[in-house]
Structure 1
Amino acid sequence: PFNVVESPEFRDFILFTGQGHLQDKDVPHRDKIVAVAEAMYYVEKNLIDSDMKAARGFISLTSDLWSDPILHAFMAVTAHYIDQNGLLKDHLIAFRKIDGVHSGANLADAMYKILRQSGIAYKVGYITLDNASNNNTMMRELAGSLKAHGLVFDADLNRLQCFPHILNLAVQAITSALSESAKRHRQKMREAGLYVSSAEERYLDALESDPLEAIRTSIHACRASGTRREDFSKMIEHGNNEGTFHLPDGTSIIIPNRQLLRDSPTRWGSTYIMSGRYIEVYPAIVELAYQCRKTAHIPFITHAQYETVQDLLTVLSIGYNAQELLSAEKTPTLSLVFPLFESIIQNWKQLADTIPELRHAISCGIKKIYDYMGRANKVPAHTIAMFLNPMFKMDWFYSKWEHEDAERAVSIIKTEVSLGH
C-alpha cells in the first residue's frame, strides 16, 4: 500500500487537490511514509508497554491464529489488564506472521518473544486459547521458557479455554451424531417392544439422511452464480407481492428477502445461522427449484428433513443464545461460564426428553461440555471469578457441585487470598 505514493497519477492527483499550494517535493515518497509509520508505531507501542508494566497485578492474554486467502498464518495476541487508575484495558499487542510448521514449539517461541519484547513476561496471568492440540504443546513449551527464568507459570492452571470454541465442539458432536441417534432410538423402541409409527419412521429416516448436508447441497445450488442469486431475490420479492408463499395450513406469509448463507466448522454458531436462514426462506427455495426445473436441478430438503432441522434448531439455539449473551457483555464474563454451561446442560437434558429421537446426539454434546468442565474446574480463575461475583459467591458451588468439589473451590479461594492475588 505504501507504493501508491510513487504512482505518477497519484502524485498528480494530490498536487491537483492542493490547488497550486503544493509542489512535488511536498508529497512524501515511500521511504518517508514507511519511516514515519514505523516511528508512530513504536511511540504507541512504548506507551502501551509502559502502561502494562504499571498494571495492578497480572496481565491476561487471548490469542488465536488466522490464515489469509493465500494461507499465510498469523498469530494475534491481545492483552487484558487493570491499569494503575483501576480501568480495564485491552490492547492488541502483536499480530505476527508464523513461518514454517504451526507446531506448539513454534507458537510458544513466538509468544515468548512477544512477552519479552513488551517487557511483561513476569506479569503473565492467564492465557485464553482454543482447544487445538498445538496449543496444548505451546502452553507446555511456554511454561518451560518462563520457568527457566524463575517465573511461576503452569501450562494447565494458567490456561483458559475459549467458551465459544467449547460450544462449537459440543454442537459439532451433536450434528455428527444425528444418524447414530436415529439408529439408537429405533433399537430402544424395539427393545421396549414399542411400535414405531409411519410418521416417526419417516422422521428417523430423515435424521439418518444427514439433513444438514442436504441443506448445504441445496444452498450450493441456489448460490451457484450471481444470476441465480439475483433471480432468488427477485422471486422472493415477487412472491411476497403476489402472496405466493404459504404455510402448510394455507396461511399466507411474507418471506424476508435474504440470501442463503453457508456454514464453516471454525465459525461459531454458523451452522445454526445457516440452518435457520434456510428454514426461514424454505418456501422460496422450493419455488426457485420449480421455476428452474427445465434448466437446472436445485435440490431441497424433504418435509421430514424440514421437521428434523426445526427440532435441531431448537437444540442448537440453547448454545447459540448462551454464546450471544457472553459476547454482548463488555465486562469480564468468566464468572458466568460455569453457570451458563450448567444451564445449557439442563436445557439440553429437558429437550432430550421432549425429542427422544435426538437423545443420543444431545448426550454427545453434553459429554463434550462435561469433559471441558472437568478440566476447567481445576483452574483457579473460574473459582475466583465466581467468588467475586455477588450473584454467586460460594452458594453456587455448594448447590451445583459435589461436596468434595465445593470444598476444593473453598481451598482455592483461601490459597489465593493468602498469597495476596
Structure 2
Amino acid sequence: MLCCLLSKNGVFFTRHVIECARAASVTWANDVLFIQLGFITLDNASNCNTMMQRLEQLLKALKIDFLVDENRIRCAFITQLQDDLAADPGWDVMDDLANALRSSGQRLDDLSSVIRKGWDDELWTPEEVPDHAVLNDMDVRWSSTFLMIDRILELYPAIEVMAEQDKHEWLRPYLLTAEQLRRLDKIRNFLEIPHSIQEGVSADKTPTLPVALPAYEQLLTVLRVFKSAEPEIAHGVQAAIDKLNEYFQKTRSARVYEIAMIVNPTIKLEWLKKNWSESEVESAKETMITAVSRFLHGVRLSEG
C-alpha cells in the first residue's frame, strides 16, 4: 500500500503512517500491535531528518521495528544539489540575462524573430541556433541550472545580434565576456554529467530503486575522470564529489537498496560482487535472508 503525506510534522506524520499501516496489514500478537511497515521516501531537507528521528521514537514506543536510516529511501534530488555547487563569477550574470529576456513576452518574441531572420540571412542554421525559448533556473526543477546554461549558450549568437539593435540596448549590460562564456561552457559540460545519468534512470520503465546505487557509483567515477581533465574547475567538481560521497554513504545504510538489487532478475548479486568487498556481499545476503524471514513471520502472525 502506498501512502502519500504532505506534512513533515513528526507527531502528525506518525499518526497517519500508523493509520495507513493499519489499513494495509495489521495483526495482534500477544496483545502487541504488529504492523508490517515498509519504507518512507523523503527528500533531503533537514527537517526530514528531525521528523524521521521523532517517528522512530514514537514507533518504538508502540513496539514497531523502525530505524531512521534503514527504513528511509532518499530522493535522488542529490543531482540538483550539485547544481548549487557550480557557483561561478559568470553564473550570476547569466542568471540575470535569462531573467531579463524572460521578463516579458515581447522580448521573447523579439528574440524568436532574430533567430528566424538569422536563418534567412544564413548567419546560422536551425540546427545551430534553434527557435527555442530562454529558460530560467528553478530550485524545484530537475537540472534547472544545467538546462538554463545550455539554452543560453545555444542561443547566444542570436542574443548578441539582438543586443546590437537600438531598441534592445537594454540587453547590452547583460552580455557575457569571452572568458565568461568559456568558463560557463566548462560548467555546462560538468553539469551535463549528473543530468545525463539522471535522465537515463528516469527513462527506465521499471522501478528505479535497484539501479540507484549503480547509478551513483557511475556518477562518481565519471566525475573523477572529468575533474582530472578540467583542472580549472576541479574545485567545484570536487565539492560535488564530496557531497555525493556523503549522500552515497547515507544511502547505503538503507538495506532496501541491496534487497531491491538482489530481487531484480537482471541484477541479483552480480553488481554487488563486482563492486563490493566479499564481506559486504555476505552482509547483503544476510540482509535478504533476514528480510524474507521477517516477512514470513508476519504472514504467520496474520494467519493466526
Structure 1 position 168 matched with structure 2 position 80 = yes
Q: Call closer, same or farther: CA 1:131–1:234 in 2, change over 3 Å.
A: same
Identity of aligned residues (%): 29
**CA distance in structure 1 between the aligned counterparts of 2:295 and 2:18, rounded to whole angstroms:** 24
**CA distance in structure 2 between the aligned counterparts of 1:330 and 1:281, rounded to whole angstroms:** 33
| Equivalence for 2:137 | 263
**CA distance in structure 2 between the aligned counterparts of 1:109 and 1:167, rounded to whole angstroms:** 30
Which of these residues, 296, 305, 311, is aligned with residue 180 of structure 2? 305
SS across alignment from 2:38: strand
What does residue range 263-342 of structure 1 map to in structure 2 within 5 Å?
263-292=137-166, 295-298=169-172, 299-342=174-217
**CA distance in structure 2 between the aligned counterparts of 1:171 and 1:254, rounded to whole angstroms:** 26
Answer whether contact 2:42 2:48 (CA < 8 A) is retained: yes
| Equivalence for 1:65 | none
Q: Hey, which of these two has a bigger chunk of strand by percent?
A: 1
Q: Call closer, same or farther: CA 1:414–1:123 in 2, change over 3 Å.
A: closer
Which of these residues, 77, 100, 109, is aligned with residue 12 of structure 2? 109
What does residue range 3-402 of structure 1 map to in structure 2 within 5 Å?
59=1, 77=4, 106-110=9-13, 112-113=15-16, 115-116=18-19, 119-120=23-24, 122-163=35-76, 165-173=77-85, 175-176=86-87, 178=88, 210-245=89-124, 254-292=128-166, 295-298=169-172, 299-402=174-277
Measure how far apart 1:262 and its partner are. Answer: 0.4
Answer whether contact 1:240 1:254 (CA < 8 A) is retained: no
Q: Which letter does structure 1 place at the counterpart of 2:51? A: M
Answer whether contact 1:127 1:160 (CA < 8 A) is retained: yes
Answer whether contact 1:222 1:285 (CA < 8 A) is retained: no
TM-score, length-scaled by structure 2: 0.84
Answer whether contact 2:14 2:58 (CA < 8 A) is retained: no
Q: Call closer, same or farther: CA 1:245–1:159 in 2, change over 3 Å.
A: same
Q: Call closer, same or farther: CA 1:321–1:138 in 2, change over 3 Å.
A: same
**CA distance in structure 1 between the aligned counterparts of 2:280 and 2:2, rounded to whole angstroms:** 26
Answer whether contact 1:108 1:139 (CA < 8 A) is retained: no
Aligned positions, number:
285
C-alpha RMSD of matched pairs (Å): 2.5
SS across alignment from 1:160: strand
**Larger RCO: 1 or 2 (CA < 8 Å, sep 6+):** 2
**CA distance in structure 2 between the aligned counterparts of 1:264 and 1:367, rounded to whole angstroms:** 23
Q: What stretches of structure 2 of length at least 5 have no aligned partner?
A: 26-34, 297-304
TM-score, length-scaled by structure 1: 0.62
Q: Which letter does structure 1 place at the counterpart of 2:79? A: L
**CA distance in structure 2 between the aligned counterparts of 1:297 and 1:273, rounded to whole angstroms:** 21
Bigger Cα Rg: 1
| Equivalence for 1:408 | 283
Q: Call closer, same or farther: CA 1:273–1:235 in 2, change over 3 Å.
A: same
Q: Call closer, same or farther: CA 1:329–1:112 in 2, change over 3 Å.
A: farther
**CA distance in structure 2 between the aligned counterparts of 1:111 and 1:264, rounded to whole angstroms:** 31
Between 223-232 and 272-281, the greater mean CA deviation after superposition: 223-232
**CA distance in structure 1 between the aligned counterparts of 2:262 and 2:42, rounded to whole angstroms:** 23
**CA distance in structure 2 between the aligned counterparts of 1:108 and 1:313, rounded to whole angstroms:** 43
